[in-house]
Structure 1
Amino acid sequence: MTPDPYILFLLGLGAVVLLVSWAPVGLRRLPLTLAILCVAVGVLVFSTGLLSFNPDPRTWDTATERLTELVVIISLMGAGLKLDRPPGWRSWATTWRLLIVAMPLTIAAVAWLGWAGLGFSLALALLFGACMAPTDPVLAADVQVGPPKSGNEDEVRFGLTSEAGLNDALAFPFVHLAILAAAGGLATQAGLSDWFTIKVGWKLLAGLAAGWLIGKVFGHLLFRRRRSLSKFGDGLIALAATLIAYAAAELIHGYGFLAVFVCAVTIRASERDHDFHQEMHDFSDQIERLLMMLLLVLFGGALANGLLSSLTWTDALIGLAVVFVVRPVAGLLAMTGSGQPWRERLLLAFLGIRGVGSVYYLAYGINHGEFGDSERIWAVVGFIILVSILVHGVTATPLLDRLTRRREAQAG
């Protein structure tokens, strides 16, 4: 008798929830991460043939876009809440270097590899570059700062966390540039003018303003009123702030990703040392981990069902170059002259994790532009994400722990 697929789904969901609860302790001494484990579970389960459902993102393009969108915005709220350092030009110098130098260099280099190495059209190459730009806020938990007021905020962890919080929004104009190229708009002054004034100028400004305003409102409700929500509410308020900030920005045609992160940073600045930040962060973190694990199990299922079937050796080599050459070189160039120790600069450059944000941008681009056959770019992006999950997942924690021990030894 064939098992009921719904019952199998409930069984799998329960197993994922168990993994989310157990993994932080159970995997502490193993060279594995929860992400690696969940991808492996997805490959194993979907390879058995017991589930008729095929989670291929090329089939479920709209669902892929929406689900990854939800995971990213929840992750952005958590990233903003955990940053102890107030925003500033000097205090966030590492962040600005990674955003202003490393991100555009990465987009340009990856787009060139897509055009010259993979034979993509200009539009598809631009989309490829934009997809590979963001340091993923979802899969980068192992390289980010600790919870609010934990003190675990060295320059490497801070730089990667703040970069992940902002470059998910700042890469969006390049996705729109790829969509414009797919429509033939690059050759028209009207198309370029619209892109620069609306997709770059207005959308960034609107996202920034919406995030700041919603953050100020929530900061007042949480900490400034006599009957403040921090006394009577719970961590669920973080989800409310996430959804409202995102929706408010999107309603005025701004970048919701930027609004969520700015909202979180603004809430944190409203009362920087309040214990309620920890409660909101913990709730966001739990929801983020649960959704992330579900996505990664589905990603493993997509791998088992042939997501990489069209991958060639050329595709794989270029994918490896993106992980091991493009981002590290761009990161090192960005950190030139920063005055930071060589080891810290190298870690900032190397640990640019690619993941859920890349899936979102690719799905968004494919759904909103005419790029033709997308099978090959899905295979290349899927391969890069898999490599990043494995390589960065295994190396990130040991490398950062070694850096911490070295710093403590020098201080002592």
Structure 2
Amino acid sequence: MVLLVSWAPMGLRKLPLTLAILCVALGVLVFSTGLFAFNPDPRTWDTATERLTELVVIISLMGAGLKLDRPIGWRRWSTTWRLLAVAMPLTIAAVAWLGVAGLGFSLAMALLLGAAMAPTDPVLAADVQVGPPQSGDEDEVRFGLTSEAGLNDALAFPFVHLAILAAAGGLFTQDGVQDWLTIKLGWKLLAGLGVGWLVGWAFGKLIFHARGPGETRFGDGLVSLAATLIAYGATELAHGYGFLAVFVCAVTIRGSERDHEFHGEMHDVSDQIERLLMMLLLILFGGALANGLLSSLTWSDALVGLAVVLVVRPVAGLVAMIGSGQPMRERLLLAFLGIRGVGSVYYLAYGLNHGDFGDSERLWAVVGFIILVSILLHGVTATPLLDRLARRRER
């Protein structure tokens, strides 16, 4: 696996394949042989699944924040705000409706499905994200998809808690709604923003300003891992959303000394750890597919899954970009390339571990199918589409 992390990206540059597709195929192949008695089914290893996906996502969020060259701002990040404020709520509502009307799920389970499908994935979206810090590879499509993935992983969390509340029967009670609005929506978001900014500001001072302009106090990119874990842990202690804190921390560190080359070193460390853990997860995902993760999937489930990838996200994305002034081809790419992956697995595992949703076998099958379709479809099409867009822009 480590050799694949090192060598596979070079061999896949000219092929319509991604590292994610290769890992899933490898997992299916290896676990289909019966060589391992271990069955990596997330339904069995529910707590381990939650924790491992949690770790991968926060490391990915740090890398995503560090490589954004564009300073944060209302107009500069307008694409991001549109996708978060319009596309994400529309996606949650549409997927929840499909869960109730198309799959026959309870309202609580349908809300959990909608919340799990809301965030675009920062882990599997490397092929559609911006390049490393100061690489210049930051067109509007790549920037929008990167910044969206960095923030909507946290902003989907209140809707997971809403599904848990519905499963507990408190969705239509005054105390339940009040707790959700004040704590799950209000305090946790504010704590994530505040602690993330504070940790990022402190690390920015220590790294770039402790000795003088242009110098760094810490000469090892591993400091990015330290910042990730401290921001996340401190925010969890404050009962906030750690995902939001890690991304805000990364953006704050980047803004403290925007053009320093040390950002590239920190990003490289985060990127290597992320790719290693991503490959492990995807090989295990392939093993889960080989061991029957989709065995309970019905034709109606598959149709709903395809609708989520091919209809819900594209339509929600296009609605969000109405009036943006961007060319239609850029709007189409922003709407289409809403990759689902590790973040969705985390939210599903978190919800099932913290709420009583009953039998979740079909729910796991639907989410697993959607992730598989996204890995294959977006993996094959993302690079050619973005390369074509770049060529058109150059002409």
Provide the residue aligned with 1:137 in structure 2.
122
Provide the residue aligned with 1:167 in structure 2.
152
- Judged with a 3 Å threshold, the aligned counterparts in structure 2 of structure 1 residues 18 and 102 are, in CA distance, closer, same or farther, namely same
Q: How big is each residue's C-alpha offset from its partner over 1:177-203, in whole Å with a ceiling of 9 and x where there is no partner?
A: 000000000121000000000000000
Q: How big is each residue's C-alpha offset from its partner over 1:122-174, in whole Å with a ceiling of 9 and x where there is no partner?
A: 00000000000001000000000000000000000000000000000000000
Shift of 1:230: 2.7
Which residue among 146, 150, 161 is the counterpart of 1:176?
161
Which residue among 267, 279, 287 is the counterpart of 1:293?
279
Aligned-partner Cα distance in 1 for 2:75–2:35: 55
Provide the residue aligned with 2:264 in structure 1.
278
Which residue among 297, 300, 303 is the counterpart of 1:311?
297
Between 225-234 and 352-361, the greater mean CA deviation after superposition: 225-234
Shift of 1:292: 0.1
Provide the residue aligned with 1:342 in structure 2.
328
| Structure 2 residues without counterparts, runs of 5 or longer | none
Match for 2:274: what amino acid? Answer: E
Q: How big is each residue's C-alpha offset from its partner over 1:260-302, in whole Å with a ceiling of 9 and x where there is no partner?
A: 0000000000000000000000000000000000000000000
1:125 correspondence with 2:110: yes
In the alignment of these two chains, the number of paired residues is: 394
Aligned-partner Cα distance in 2 for 1:127–1:203: 19
1:251 correspondence with 2:244: no
Which residue among 369, 376, 390 is the counterpart of 2:376?
390
| Structure 1 residues without counterparts, runs of 5 or longer | 1-15
Aligned-partner Cα distance in 2 for 1:125–1:162: 27
Provide the residue aligned with 2:211 in structure 1.
226
Provide the residue aligned with 1:65 in structure 2.
50
Match for 1:220: what amino acid? Answer: K
Match for 2:319: what amino acid? Answer: L
Write out aligned runs for 1:32-181 (5 A): 32-181=17-166
Q: How big is each residue's C-alpha offset from its partner over 1:336-358, in whole Å with a ceiling of 9 and x where there is no partner?
A: 11000000000000000000000
Aligned-partner Cα distance in 1 for 2:188–2:151: 14
Aligned-partner Cα distance in 2 for 1:381–1:181: 20
Aligned-partner Cα distance in 1 for 2:278–2:319: 31
Provide the residue aligned with 1:330 in structure 2.
316
- Give the SS at the match of 1:187: coil
Q: How big is each residue's C-alpha offset from its partner over 1:88-142, in whole Å with a ceiling of 9 and x where there is no partner?
A: 0000000000000000000000000001100000000000000000010000000
RMSD across aligned positions (CA) = 0.9
Aligned-partner Cα distance in 2 for 1:29–1:278: 25
Shift of 1:233: 2.4
Contact 2:211–2:217 (CA under 8 A) maintained in structure 1: no
Shift of 1:327: 0.1
Provide the residue aligned with 1:8 in structure 2.
none
Match for 2:240: what amino acid? Answer: G
Contact 2:201–2:253 (CA under 8 A) maintained in structure 1: yes
TM-score normalized by the length of structure 2: 0.99
Provide the residue aligned with 2:187 in structure 1.
202
Match for 1:389: what amino acid? Answer: I
Identity %: 85
